[in-house]
Amino acid sequence: MTNLQAGNIQKDFYGKAKVEENCQFITLYSYETAICRVSKSNGHFVRIWGGYSATTMRHINAFLDTLGLDRMNKKQWEALSVA
């Protein structure tokens, strides 16, 4: 796992947001909980975690930024079904 870079949002997430990559998925972990993932084969975004927090939403948007995907807001996040 590697630390997620905060980008322009803030300087650092201090190791609280990590990304794990395997042959199928790129997965975001926030505070050691799997949050979401993107399929490497088709780019499909999947919500794994059923919760919401403002901090985790910042992690999600930084993750989306690194992958060149559109950011989302709370309403969009909560509209996604949980896998």
Domain definitions of the chain by residue range = 2-79
Is residue 5 very low, low, confident or very high in pLDDT (cuts 50, 70, 90)? confident
Question: What pLDDT score does 50 carry?
Answer: 97
Q: Tell how many helices (H) and how many strands (E) occur in the chain.
A: 2, 5
pLDDT single digits (tens) 9-61: 566 788 899 999 999 999 999 999 999 999 999 999 999 999 999 999 999 99
On whether the CB atoms of residues 3 and 17 are closer than 8 A, the answer is: yes
Q: What is the mean pLDDT of residues 59-70?
A: 95
Question: What pLDDT score does 73 carry?
Answer: 97
Q: Does the pTM exceed 0.95?
A: no
Q: Which residues contact 11 (CB under 8 A, 6 or more apart)?
A: none
